[in-house]
Structure 1
């Protein structure tokens, strides 16, 4: 079995991460999704994730194969949920953002490893509530979060110049 794990991203990982982000942008665009088509995530955001110690890379056999940010800070966009409500609006929550897998590893279900590790990391911090959002057209991500037990709770608006509406999901463990 291949060695697969996550670790904190470093500045040296930025070129690999940006390649993965660019591949994900192209993948989203290929089926008409406007998500990530307005220039973000960009290198400045990834560097900020690293500086804020919320950046993680998925490593497969020594190669950067995926990326995600895992924040333990409340997301102000989630305060404005509409067409629904959070199930748990009182406990501290973690947020998963900017998740992507390299095109070289697509179809190998490695997002399962990435999300399993991120969820375990969250639980290790004593947090049992996790939130994520994605564009309504991003069916692969919706399928992934559904397979982990995330439940769609409503919609939120994010900073996106093309289409800010996102479906908001929550996992309570």
Structure 2
């Protein structure tokens, strides 16, 4: 099996959206409200592609996953509740968003490889801290995040909406 990550291009948008839609359906089946309001949309992924922040997991020449690696501070992480970001880490960090593995690749532990590569990319770009969040009911993603070495740091709210709460995690490389 050949696996690597690469930047997404405009030609990848349809496939990326298919992977995201599969993720939305999986979350809905588990009764997790995350991604059930239309987000993320193709326009979000297009913005990621245009900004060179969209990274694909490729397995044997096929798109097996999609993720966004932001290299600027996320406004949703400006305030953290019921915890704190590691104060020694500072505000220079990447954040992982919109990550999903295609349904045909579930159960193969590809997220471990994907996270490792996203960490390597962050480090190569000069970032030694990564942040990520997920819904409190998304126990599968919480498992993947902590397995990758992230530490739970507290709660963040999406776009200041007190009804849209996420568990926030951080790792220092």
**TM-score with structure 1 setting the length:** 0.95
1:40 match: secondary structure? coil
* CA distance 1:160–1:11, shift in 2 (3 Å): farther
2:78 match: secondary structure? helix
How far apart, in 2, do the equivalents of 1:59 and 1:162 lie? 36
For 1:20, the equivalent position in structure 2 comes to: 19
CA contact (8 A) 1:37 1:162 kept: no
For 1:31, the equivalent position in structure 2 comes to: 30
How far apart, in 1, do the equivalents of 2:161 and 2:67 lie? 22
How far apart, in 2, do the equivalents of 1:162 and 1:82 lie? 11
For 1:110, the equivalent position in structure 2 comes to: 110
How far apart, in 2, do the equivalents of 1:157 and 1:148 lie? 23
* CA distance 1:160–1:80, shift in 2 (3 Å): closer
* CA distance 1:10–1:162, shift in 2 (3 Å): farther
* CA distance 1:143–1:70, shift in 2 (3 Å): same
User: How far does the alpha carbon of each residue in 1:13-41 deviate from its partner, in whole angstroms, 9 at most, with x for none?
Assistant: 01111110000000011111000000001
For 1:8, the equivalent position in structure 2 comes to: 7
For 1:122, the equivalent position in structure 2 comes to: 122
1:80 match: secondary structure? coil
CA contact (8 A) 1:16 1:64 kept: yes
1:94 maps to 2:94: yes
For 1:76, the equivalent position in structure 2 comes to: 75
**TM-score with structure 2 setting the length:** 0.95
For 1:147, the equivalent position in structure 2 comes to: 147
Q: How much is the aligned-residue C-alpha RMSD, in angstroms?
A: 1.5
1:96 match: secondary structure? strand
CA contact (8 A) 2:155 2:165 kept: yes
The runs of 5 or more residues in structure 2 that have no matched partner are none
The runs of 5 or more residues in structure 1 that have no matched partner are none
